[in-house]
Chains A and B, each alone.
Chain A
């Protein structure tokens, strides 16, 4: 089974702090994604990566950056956390070799910024 893990289930940070959210997958997937999910807004794509050291902006990249130094790990960075970044953050991975390119999700990190 595909396993996607995220470093924390719950996180509380203060405004202005630098926040790192880590995601690791064990299925040798090339593609990795970061989303945030908010009530009434659904899942929104922040950043994605198709390969090591490669990154692409999604729909809402402002206030975020990412790092992909190793194939299995994709980190989301909030340079200076703000209260409007309080959300559920979900990491996903997929393989372009799969028949339908379905994505597999980690359990999510619920981030609260005070």
Chain B
């Protein structure tokens, strides 16, 4: 099983749609989880951390299922500006201060 696995997409959705991305990770001892956003030819930027109880930031909701080793990101009311690649990120070992492992990303295109 790959360390972090995501559907590469692309997901092509109309403006205003709700879209969900999923991600699985292999290390059951991982403790830190993130979603990053990467625009074309730019660096990755932190979108949100993912907390055990799930968390929301405006139109974005992240969920963690430790039993299934599964992370999700839900985007409501998609905007054209949401078009980007979304990277699922997990820490490598069971200590907080360890390298992160990045998924290869899921590409989202929001269409007018």
> Which A residues contact B (CB, under 8 angstroms)?
31, 33, 35, 40-43, 45, 48, 50, 58, 90, 96, 99-108
Contact = CB atoms under 8 A, between A and B. Distances in A.
A50 B97 contact: yes
Given A90-B44, A100-B96, A101-B100, 14 more contacts: A42-B103, A42-B104, A43-B44, A43-B102, A45-B99, A48-B99, A50-B97, A100-B34, A100-B49, A101-B96, A101-B97, A102-B32, A102-B34, A106-B43
A103 B103 CA distance: 15
Interface string B81-112: 00000010001000011111011110000000
A103 to B, nearest CB: 6
By secondary structure, the A interface counts as loop
Given A40-B104, A42-B105, A43-B44, A102 B99 contact: no
B58 to A, nearest CB: 18
Contact of A58 (B46, B99, B104): B99
Interface of B: 32, 34, 42-46, 49, 87, 91, 96-100, 102-105
A74 B13 CA distance: 40
16 contacts: A42-B102, A42-B103, A42-B105, A43-B102, A50-B97, A99-B49, A100-B49, A101-B32, A101-B96, A101-B97, A101-B98, A102-B34, A103-B46, A103-B100, A105-B43, A105-B44
